A and B are shown apart, each in its own frame.
Chain A
Amino acid sequence: MAVVVVLLFALAATGGLYAAFAPAKKAQADTSAQSLTVQEGKKLFAVGCASCHGMNGEGSSDGPSLIGVGAAAVDFQVGTGRMPLMQPGPQAPRKKVAYEPAQVKALSAFVASLGAGPAIPSASDYDPAKGDVAAGGELFRTNCAQCHNFVGEGGALTKGKTAPSLKGVSPKHIYEAMETGPQNMPSFGDGTMSDKNRRDVIAYVYSKQGHEASSPGGMTLGGLGPVTEGLFGWIFGLGALIVVAIWIAARTSKVRKS
C-alpha cells in the first residue's frame, strides 16, 4: 500500500515539477487533478510558507528543509494549526487552523512532491475502534507516557518546551505525529512500531482523551497522579472530617433555667 502511495506521489511530483517548469502551453495540456492540486499547493506554499522554508522547501536559517518530510508531516503541522508559525519560540503551539481542508491537502501534495516521505494515513490505519486498548495502554506507558503523562495529559520539557496534552487530538493527527515526529518529539515510525502497535496506542489515547472518554473509577482530578489526589484528600476529605467533628462536639441547645 505504502509503496503504491509513494509511487503515486512520485509520479505526481514528476508531473507537478514538469508542470511547474514546463512552458505554459504544455502545462495547459496537463489537467489531471493530482497535478492541479500540487500546483495549487505550490501557490499556497509560496504565499504562506516560503518565507521560512524557501521557495522550493529547501529550508533557510528560519525554518528547516521540507524535502522528504512527506505529506503526513504537513497534514499534521498545518492541520493542527501549528504551522504557519505565528512567532518564533521554544515550540509551535496548537492553534486555530489557518487553511481549509482542501488547501491543507494541496500543501501536503506539494511538499510530498519535493521528496518521498510518509504519506497521509488512510482511515483504517488509525481507526480507534480497531485497536486493542489494553495493549495500547502498555505501549503508551513504555513509549509515550514519559513525556505525555500516563493518560495523555501532557507535561513539561526543557527550556519552555512542552509535550502537549492529547485531549481532543484527532486519531489521524496522533498517527501522523507518531510517524513523523513533529518538532522535538521523536518519531515512532515503521521500524519502531508496527501498524498494529500504532492503532493500539491510538485506541488507548482515544479511550482516555477522546470525546467519549470515560473514567470508570470516578473523578480524574486532572489525571496528574498523587499531587492533585493528595490535595483533594487534604482539603475535601479532611475538611469533611473536621465539619463532622465540630458537629459531634458542639454544645446542644440548652433550655433557659426558669
Chain B
Amino acid sequence: MSQDEEMSSANNLPAEQDHGDGELAVKGDNPFADPGLPPHEHRRTDIDEKAANRAERQVAFLFLISMLATIGFIVSYYAIPKSQIVYIFLLGRVSALNFSLGLTLGVALFCIGAGAVQWARTLMSDVETPQERHPIEADKETREFVFEEFKAGAKDSAFGRRKLIRTTMFGALALVPLAGVVLLRDLGPLPGKKLMETNWAAGKRIINHNTGEPLKPSDIQVGSLTFAYPEGLSEEDEQFQEKIAKDALMLIRMRPEDIKDKTELDWSYEGIVAYSKICTHVGCPISLYEQQTHHVLCPCHQSTFDLSDGAKVIFGPAGHPLPQLKIHVGDDGFLAASQGFQEPVGPSYWERP
C-alpha cells in the first residue's frame, strides 16, 4: 500500500483523489465530484521477478521469430523459382514464391507488433497518469499585449493612411489566384463534338476484332456473334483503348424475316445487323447475346435490348435503343459502313440530341 501511495504522489495526481480502498463514495453534497482514479493494482510481473523474466523471454522470442521470418523472406526470394506452383490446404494451387513471401513478411511484421504489445502489457509501467486540462484562451495581459502590438504595427506601416498602397495590395492579392485558375485549362480541351462522333464513316470496312481481318458476309453465320472495329484502327495504336471504347461494334445475323423493325431491315445486309457494343445506360460493353431470343443483355444493370426489333429496350434502366450502323457490301466483297452512326453511341449526356 505504501508503494502505491508513493507512486500516486510521485505522479502528481489531483488532490481530491481517492487514495483509499477503491470505494467511489460521493463526498459531501456534490454528487458530481471527481471520483478520482481507482487504486492501482499490481500485475504479477510487477512483483514477481521470475514472472517478469518470463515475460521478457516471451517478448524476445517474438522478436526472434520476426528475425527468422525476415531471413526466410530473403531466402525464399532467391531460392524459389517464380513459376513453381504448390498445393496449400484451403488456398488451392498457388505460386510457391508469392505464398512464402507473403507468409514470411506477414509473420515478421506481426511478431514485431505482437512483441511490442506484449512488452507494454507485461513490463512497461501500467500506472494511469492523468493530464490536467487547461483553458485554451490566453490570459488578459497577453491579449492586451498582442492587440497593442498589432495597433502599433498597423500605425507604423501607415496601412490606413496610404490608401494607394492598400488598394494596390488588395488588387495584387486578388489577382494572384487567377494564375491557378488559368492552369485548370490543362485539364484538357473541352470535349467538343467528340461524344457525338465515332471513327465509323461511309465506306470504312468492318474489321474482325479477333483476327484483324476484314469481314465478308459469309463469315457471319446465323447465330454467331462477331465483334469488330473500323478499318484504320490498330491494336498497336496508343489510343486504341480510347477509340474502341466508342467504336466497338457487334455483328449478328438473323433470318431477314425475323427482323421486325423496318429501319433495322433497311440498314442490314441479308440479315446481318451491326449494333454499337456500348450500353446506352452508363456505357458498359454489352454483349450477353442470346442467339435464340435475339436479346442482348448488359452485365452491369441488366438492361435488355431486343436486337430483332431495332434494339428496343425491353428491360432495365437504359434510356434509348442501341445505335445501329448501316452496312453494305463494297465492290471488293467486304462488309463496310454505309455511313457513320446517326446518333451518339453510349450513355446519355446533357447536350445529347
Contacts and interface: CB of A to CB of B under 8 A. Distances in A.
Interface of A: 139, 142-143, 146-147, 155, 157-158, 161, 163, 181, 183-194, 197, 212-220, 247-248, 252-255, 257
B65 to A, nearest CB: 16
Given A186-B289, A255-B41, A255-B47, A191 B95 contact: no
B320 interface: no
Given A146-B287, A157-B288, A192 B44 contact: no
B219 A158 contact: no
Given A157-B297, A190-B219, A217-B95, 13 more contacts: A142-B227, A146-B299, A155-B299, A158-B304, A192-B219, A194-B210, A197-B211, A214-B95, A215-B94, A216-B98, A220-B92, A248-B121, A255-B41
A251 B121 CA distance: 8
Nearest to A180: B223
Contacts of A197: 210-211
Interface of B: 1, 41-44, 46-48, 85, 90-95, 98-99, 102, 117, 121-122, 126, 208-211, 215-216, 218-221, 223-227, 252, 285-293, 295, 297, 299, 304, 315
A191 B224 contact: yes
Nearest to B45: A252
Contacts of A190: 219
Nearest to B251: A192
A142 B98 contact: no
Contacts of A215: 92-94
9 contacts: A146-B288, A147-B299, A186-B289, A189-B221, A192-B219, A214-B94, A248-B117, A252-B126, A257-B41
Contacts of B223: 181, 186-187
Determine chain B's interface SS by DSSP, over half rule.
mixed
A191 B221 CA distance: 8
**4 shortest A-B CB distances, which residue pairs?**
A191-B219, A186-B225, A216-B95, A214-B93
B297 A158 contact: yes
Contacts of B285: 146
Contacts of A142: 209-210, 227
B43 A254 contact: yes
Contacts of A216: 85, 94-95, 98
Nearest to B225: A186
A255 B291 contact: no
A194 B219 CA distance: 11
B101 to A, nearest CB: 11
A214 B291 contact: no
Contacts of A143: 210, 225, 227
Given A187-B291, A189-B224, A191-B224, A255 B42 contact: yes
Contacts of A252: 43, 121-122, 126
B94 A255 contact: no
A208 B79 CA distance: 26
Nearest to B292: A184
Given A142-B210, A215-B92, A218-B99, A157 B44 contact: no
Contacts of A185: 291
A161 to B, nearest CB: 7
Nearest to A148: B288
Contacts of A192: 208, 210, 219-220, 224-226
A210 to B, nearest CB: 11
Contacts of A194: 210-211
A55 to B, nearest CB: 24
A190 B224 CA distance: 10
A213 B93 CA distance: 7
Contacts of A254: 41-44
Contact of B291 (A155, A181, A257): A181
A137 to B, nearest CB: 13
Contacts of B292: 183-184
A253 B226 CA distance: 71
A96 to B, nearest CB: 25
Given A139-B210, A186-B225, A252-B122, A191 B94 contact: no
Contacts of B289: 186
Max chain A C-beta neighbours (<10 A), residue from B1, B95, B225, B293: B225
B225 A188 contact: yes
A219 B88 CA distance: 10
B91 A218 contact: yes
A186 B252 contact: yes
A140 to B, nearest CB: 11
Contacts of A255: 41-44, 46-48
